[in-house]
Structure 1
């Protein structure tokens, strides 16, 4: 049964409530400004500039200027309409016709577009949220002011171009009243915007990158330098690559590309400045998603894995074009994608497994080398302190050594026992009771030893407890001495109470405690030792 016109009623949304509600779509400041830059790129601009400043009264003005093709009166009306008409070019960085309005009004109450089309007089269109309750879904078309024309001519002197202007900015730096604090907050937001745009538009602003049309992007007069998350000048090529064809509705074929890059450790960079620019920290590992060569999401592991320090060197590129928008469920902010189960499992279980292993191996090698270097002088104070009291704390005597089997017979208050225990000579002056070791059997943290026949402990520098607990406290002699004393005392207690019937239990105890400690420190941060992969 089809409803007749008599039964159909128009229910227009309340303009004020809808416009106010759409302010809360979750935009962050850099994402919001980038949405406007997308429109400039879609308008084929070659020069784009973002200007943000604060006047002496604390009022903030933000403008995005471009030399794109500009608009006539109908174009302005369409651009400011919520749900504007689709662009004929499906590959456009604009997608839903909402970004300009929702991203802008997330931070300001007055949005204007000043534009000039070929051979046309400049025009200005304005949304004012403080007037919308009275005038409804209507925008004001007017003549731009002298100052607004000066902004337009800054990048498009006498030629087509557009200025998007934010005024009545009320959701950026908080309440007025503390000008110094507000200016610092604005400066901080501008720095965030620079970092965001350098990463998001890297392929557009890198003049040597041919994957996207080159543009000049400035922020407050300074031209932005691109930031390449994959450090192609160092990595040269991906560690793994996948080109996957996908059938999209309508029978058309599309392709997405996944490339995994393993970055050098900090100490492997030829230039320390390049290492610093690479931002080798936990925050930048993960998958970087690109739509039409514009980064739209990341870096994270898209719920496949959690970020862990030993994967700091792994960064993954996931690239696709507009044909896969529906398949990947691009959201209104173009800031995330949703992978179907087949692709998700393919990436997590098959594609990413080998590069993750290789990235961890490279990281662990660097961490182990750094730990070994840091351990060289770390235990000197402990050796001196323990040696001063070692004779009075002695718990066992050596009765015999079998050079062929390596067995050592000791005697303690419970009798004698034959043990597999390392008999070592000191390699460093004074290193008689605590000795770092590159590794120990079964990955245990510590084991008893005899150094120049002194009761001693060997500590595994490759164990996670050493890198996560010892090394962050390397400047605190008291802490390191306390840790060393504890492990030495455990070894001394073992030597003083062990028997042939209990020695296996002591071995199992060391193994089990070492296993538990490894798990307990798993989520603790790795220390920065200037070469283990962290920045």
Structure 2
């Protein structure tokens, strides 16, 4: 019960403290939670968390209808498992927001007791749960938002199942003796209108999120038997690090496209205080696995997702992926790091340090943890960048110096993005700045003011395929680096081909390209600072580039 204590008031000549209860409005609360940002695949993954926490060995998902158009009145998503099932008391608790059920923090995937309700209502208004323990009766629970909205109360139905509901159990149960079946109905918040599109996306998302569970719980033999299926078809592991140890669990056609697997560069653990402000809580370990993806051709890179949106650090909590392709403040996303991938394994005891939110989908590590990761990952990131830059330097065909000089000359008049700095306090209590070892990020101190006016920008060229972006933007220290895609039809037509003729218009085109890309790039770096925003920006650039390619070819 939430209480609000009011100031003492005079009643009958004596001071009395008044207390009021402040329960939330059920209809408004549920309406707000439905807009929590869940995608349909993320919601299904959170429901599977409950099955795994309940010791399921097999999970079967059904999307009905299996093909055609999905509508609110014809769609049902079913998740069946062979876990331990729930007693009446446990089922009643699970239907609450913020349920208080027993959890093992060392292995369980749930955290706040919000998953069953918030995940289900993000897809449909009606949740039906059929559950049975080994020694118990078959129970049914119904959580219907239409009823909650009508009566504006936190209510649900829980009772023994009738014959019709027992028949439904017999049809979908993984094990007739125990387990749980979840049915999502009145699906009015589907992100997909075509069944095949939803099924394909579910397979990919669940295969990546639960890849370690698929490798641990699935059976290999003449045919692959995954511990999770969708409409009877196995869900294969999606392995963003491309490590050979998982080759038997990934989709066979994907495995055939990989000519060579990744090189595992580092696999190390870091002891981290659970709470720096409370040393008595002790420490726990982060595990970090770092790989360099194989060097692939442009076609294979596109097919296998070796690109800017997929580069970075994949955060795993209790063996389950909670956040893909993150920068975590360790580096800036750029084209030259497409082959950089890492896994960060976080125990639940470090949830506070990693900054996990209640949806388990967004994380914000504290500054001290960012510093540790930057120090350990910096040399590897720097090595990949240097190798990439050596390769693309060889392709330079245009003299960019004049444009670099023009921009540097007017740098004081330009609005430029802020260089991220990390303040440290020296022994003499004087604040300075540092350069993390092995990285390209320069942190300036007071004595470096003169250097700030040099090397403001650099233009480069690199092959990024005809369907790639027209240019890529990056920031190293205070230097803005623009890399033009020499394969793009616009560059080929107006720069390379123009150079083969008289080149009379080439100078104007080159000046426009250099100045426009620089100005737009600096605006992007100043405006789009979050990972999620940066991913949208990359997608916007790609769409712009694709439309330009279509118009020019």
Same fold (TM over 0.5): yes
Partner Cα distance (1:258, 1:303) in 2: 16
Question: Where does residue 301 of structure 1 map in the other structure?
Answer: 327
- Specify every segment of 5 or more residues in structure 1 that has no aligned partner in the other structure, as ranges: 174-181, 376-442, 447-463, 492-509, 529-535
How many angstroms does 1:198 deviate by?
A: 1.0
Output the CA distance in 1 between the equivalents of 2:482 and 2:283: 52
CA contact (8 A) 2:214 2:236 kept: yes
Correspondence 1:28 to 2:39: yes
Greater shift, 303-312 or 360-369, is seen at 360-369
Q: Does 1:116 align with 2:116?
A: no
Give yes or no for the alignment of 1:261 onto 2:279. Answer: no
Select which of 152, 158, 162 maps to 2:180.
162
Does residue 216 in structure 1 map to residue 242 in structure 2? no
8 Å CA contact 1:61–1:166 kept in 2: the answer is: yes
The alpha-carbon deviation at position 197 of structure 1 amounts to 0.8
Alignment of 1:43 onto 2:54: yes
Residues 113 and 317 from structure 1, CA distance in 2 versus in 1: closer, same or farther, beyond 3 angstroms? same
* Normalised TM-score (structure 2): 0.64
Query: Which among 469, 473, 486 is matched to residue 489 of structure 2?
Result: 473
Report the Cα distance in structure 1 between the residues aligned to 2:45 and 2:55, rounded to whole angstroms.
15
Q: 1:137 aligns with which of 154, 157, 160?
A: 154
Distance 1:281 1:305, change over 3 A: same
Residues 124-273 of structure 1 correspond to what in structure 2 (within 5 A)? 124-132=140-148, 133-134=150-151, 136-142=153-159, 143=161, 146=164, 149-150=167-168, 154-172=172-190, 183-184=193-194, 186-207=195-216, 216-233=227-244, 234-235=260-261, 237-248=263-274, 249=278, 250-267=280-297
Shift of 1:149: 4.3
Report what 1:390 is aligned to: none
Matches within 5 A, 1:82-481: 82-90=97-105, 91-132=107-148, 133-134=150-151, 136-142=153-159, 143=161, 146=164, 149-150=167-168, 154-172=172-190, 183-184=193-194, 186-207=195-216, 216-233=227-244, 234-235=260-261, 237-248=263-274, 249=278, 250-267=280-297, 278-348=304-374, 350-364=375-389, 468-473=484-489, 480-481=496-497
List per-residue Cα deviations over 1:167-220 (Å, max 9, x = no partner): 1111115xxxxxxxx742x4323322211111110101024999xxx9701112
User: Deviation per CA, 1:101-123, whole angstroms, max 9, x where unpaired?
Assistant: 01111221111111111122211
Task: State the shift of 1:256 in Å.
Answer: 0.6
Measure, in 1, the Cα distance between the counterparts of 2:27 and 2:314.
37
Q: SS of the counterpart of 2:289?
A: strand
Distance 1:138 1:355, change over 3 A: same
The answer to whether the 8 Å contact 1:297/1:335 transfers is yes
Work out whether residues 203 and 209 of structure 1, in 8 Å CA contact, stay in contact via their aligned partners in 2: no
1:326–1:183: structure 2 CA closer, same or farther, 3 Å change rule?
Answer: closer
Output the CA distance in 2 between the equivalents of 1:140 and 1:309: 53
Whether contact under 8 Å (1:108, 1:166) holds in the other structure is yes
1:80 aligns with 2:95: yes
Distance 1:59 1:316 in 2: 42
| Structure 1 CA distance for aligned equivalents of residues 146 and 482 of structure 2 | 61
Q: Is the 8 A contact 2:262 2:291 kept in 1?
A: no
Cα distance in 2 for residues equivalent to 1:198 and 1:5: 60
Pairwise CA distance, 1:290: 0.4
Distance 1:474 1:74, change over 3 A: same
Question: Relative to structure 1, is the Cα distance of residues 21 and 291 closer, same or farther in structure 2, using a 3 angstrom cutoff?
Answer: same
Shift in Å, 1:354: 1.7
Instruction: Normalising by structure 1, report the TM-score.
Output: 0.66
Residues matched between the structures, number: 408
Q: Which runs of 5+ in 2 are unaligned?
A: 9-14, 220-224, 245-259, 398-457, 462-473, 475-480, 525-540, 547-553
Q: Cα offset for 1:92?
A: 0.7
Secondary structure of 2:185's counterpart equals strand
Report the CA distance shift for 1:483/1:192 in structure 2 as closer, same or farther (over 3 A). Answer: farther
Q: Paired residue for 1:495?
A: none
Which secondary structure state, in structure 2, belongs to the residue aligned with residue 108 of structure 1?
coil
> Does structure 1 retain, via aligned residues, the 8 Å contact 2:130–2:182?
yes
Q: Distance in 1 between matches of 2:339 and 2:322?
A: 21
After TM superposition, the structure 1 stretch with the greater mean CA deviation from structure 2, 14-23 or 219-228, is 14-23
Paired residues of 2:270 and 2:286 also in contact (CA < 8 A): yes
CA contact (8 A) 1:65 1:152 kept: no
SS in 2 for 1:9: strand
- Tell me the equivalent position of 2:530: none
Kindly state the Cα deviation for residue 468 of structure 1 after the two structures are TM-superposed. Answer: 2.7
C-alpha distance in 2, partners of 1:162/1:68? 7
Whether the 8 Å CA contact 2:60–2:230 is kept in 1: the answer is: yes
Of 199-208 and 125-134, deviating more is 199-208
